[in-house]
Chain A
Amino acid sequence: MNALPARIGALLLLALALSLATEGFATATNLLNVLRQASLLFLVASGLTLVIIGGGLDLSVAANLTLSACTAALAFKATGSVAAAVATALGCGLAVGLLNGLLVAVVRVPAFLATYGTLWIASGAAYWLMAGRVVYGFPPALRGLGTGFVLGVPTPVWIMLAVAVAGGAFLFLSAAGREVFFTGANEEAARLSGIPVRRRRILVYGLSGLMCGVAALVYLGRVNAAEAGLGDPLLLPAVAAVLIGGTSLFGGAGGLAGTLVGALILTTVTNGLNLLDVGAAWHPFVTGTIILAALGADALLARRGA
């Protein structure tokens, strides 16, 4: 089992330190602000978590977010219909995800390279479609997904919680979810015990792509504009959120609660650095330190448990 309580503890310690060190941190509005900022990162990282649990990797998530947001924006401008934008974002995300799934599970290209290839193809398609333009200005129905509030809590935070709960139910309560764990832990054994390994693998890549489509809608709602390259800053933080959350790159272990905590830790740190007015130059250094610290903590816990 992953060391989830330790990670929650680390997040709480971080929050405590920041509320002592800064004035603005421990306010209701700032905590909601952190949650809202974490939601985009979590959505991109959530599908990636499933892929990694299943023993794969998806480097195309940020590029997929970009392409889904750009196609959805173009679809809205062409039709004026929010429903068309939603359908395009989800459809585009799913299509890129299924392409990954087919390349990895059927053509059997190593996941690292297959998804690195689709990263470039999706980025290139976005560059070509947008040709240096920005598509902007969306109606309240779409903006609400990013900027709205329900019962005083930002809409994207509700979406994040819904995905975390639904994803957790899929992983831990459904037969297909358990089979994803088995596939990731030991592919050969999973196949021998009759698990449809290929279909499970395509399923997780498809879900990862679909989550990029959901994230694209939240992005459009929040930022109100789409341009090529918009997702690029999210790739490494998304991978880091999954890993800090304790999902193992060896497959077969992990969960969405961990990724949620990972995304919150990363977002809280950036928020804290901004509140303390620390230069952005230090952000990668701090992120790197946190990743290594999470690893070290796991190693210590594992040793003590053994």
Chain B
Amino acid sequence: MPMAERALPAPFRRAPGAAVALVVLVAIFAASSGGRFLSVGNLVSLSSQVALLLLVALPMTFVVLTEGLDLSVGALMGLAGVVAATAMLGGWGVPGALLAALGTGLVLGAVNGALIAWGGMPAFVVTLGTMGLAEGLALAVTDGEPVSGFGDAPRLAWQAMIGPVPLPVAVAAALYALLHLLLYRTPFGAHVVAVGGNREALRLAGIRGRAVHAAVYVLSASCAALAAFLLVGRTNAAHPTVALGVEFDAIVAVVLGGTSFERGQGWLFGTVLGAAAIGVLRNGLNVLAVDPSLQVVAVGLLAILALVAGNRRGGRART
């Protein structure tokens, strides 16, 4: 695992809260659930839930590394899902639907990227705007009704197993490998780190720096569109607002994992830990049937305590 990345001095010294939180949570839930938490069935559904979050959170790590964030991914997942389902109903087949969803992601990501990298506009505001556009389009096209009746292919994809590994987990693992290479072994990755590390350098870097800056938003949106396709399989329907709020879980996973909103410091594997911590917390609270109102408090406490414990570095959200 990426313990000795060149760009990232001694990541464990920063002790991402996620790693601590994860170990503690797993121990608590495993001890008190009478074997249910660690049952095969639960691990399959838990890992699939985490995988879906990772498809959004891994590329979000790139975005946060550039001192940005992407609030539009949740709304985009709703829109891309509706597009994919409509394409399948229109006889485009699964590959066509996948391409249509990816195309939706590419367009929205390009809009985000262009406005942020070339327009010099703040990512928070731009993606808040495109979030409204995507949510509104998805709602208006469907009149709020879920789209369904497109056959079994997406559902079978979500439930498929590759050996002992659920397909969504395999997809997330492949994406991790790909993004790991991209971030740590290519000039693109070095540029991403540089973009966040030094805004002034970015401004002077010209076209290439801006293209890299824009590309992280295209990456984020494309991965969200891919996740949308799996989500359509999970629910066997495309609901226009199904994923609203996912963007916050993804950002929390990234920052829990030790990636900083400033100074271009980050750790891709930390995001895996962060997403796992969020997934384990929510799943564990459900498996133990904790009082619903206390679950809400627990999510907030995890976010803050893990940060206080692990990420005691200075900083404000400069987005």
Contact = CB atoms under 8 A, between A and B. Distances in A.
Decide if A and B touch, CB cutoff 8 A: yes
Interface of A: 55-57, 103-104, 107-114, 116-125, 127-128, 131, 187, 236, 239-240, 243, 248-251, 279, 281-289, 291-292, 295-296, 298-299
Contacts of B260: 110
B132 A288 contact: yes
A288 B133 contact: yes
Interface string B126-155: 101111111111011001100000000000
B94 interface: no
11 contacts: A55-B316, A56-B316, A107-B312, A109-B308, A109-B311, A110-B255, A117-B303, A122-B300, A124-B295, A284-B136, A296-B119
B83 to A, nearest CB: 16
B130 A121 contact: no
Interface string B141-171: 0011000000000000000000000000000
A243 B123 CA distance: 12
Nearest to B144: A281
Contact of A243 (B125, B140, B301, B317): B125
Q: Is the interface of A mostly helix, strand, loop or mixed?
A: helix
A70 to B, nearest CB: 12
Given A107-B308, A127-B296, A121 B301 contact: yes
Contacts of A113: 252, 255, 303-304, 307, 317
Contacts of A285: 132-133, 135-137, 139-140
A244 B295 CA distance: 34
A121 B296 CA distance: 7
B292 interface: yes
B140 A288 contact: no
A110 B301 contact: no
Contact of A118 (B120, B132, B300, B311): B300
Contacts of A299: 119-121
Given A108-B315, A292-B130, A124 B121 contact: no
Contact of B293 (A109, A131, A281): A131
Nearest to A249: B122
Given A120-B297, A123-B296, A284-B135, A295 B115 contact: yes
B314 A108 contact: yes
Contacts of A123: 296, 300
Interface of B: 69, 75, 115, 119-122, 124-126, 128-137, 139-140, 143-144, 248, 251-252, 255, 260-261, 291-301, 303-304, 307-308, 311-319
B318 A250 contact: yes
Given A57-B316, A128-B293, A282-B136, 7 more contacts: A113-B303, A117-B301, A124-B297, A287-B136, A288-B130, A289-B132, A292-B130
A29 B122 CA distance: 38
B304 A289 contact: no
B125 A121 contact: no
A283 B312 CA distance: 40
Contacts of A286: 132, 136
B136 A281 contact: yes
A288 B136 contact: yes
A272 to B, nearest CB: 15
A128 B300 CA distance: 14
B125 A112 contact: no
Contacts of A127: 292-293, 296
Given A107-B312, A299-B119, A239 B128 contact: yes
Contacts of B292: 127
B126 A295 contact: yes
Given A116-B303, A286-B136, A295 B120 contact: no
A296 B317 CA distance: 23
A114 B317 CA distance: 10
Contact of B128 (A111, A121, A240): A240
Nearest to B120: A299
Nearest to A285: B136
Contacts of A120: 296-297, 299-301, 303
Nearest to B69: A112
Contact of B304 (A117, A239, A240, A243): A117
A236 B299 CA distance: 20
A113 B307 CA distance: 8
Contact of B121 (A287, A289, A295): A295
Contact of A281 (B121, B143, B300): B143
A289 B129 contact: yes
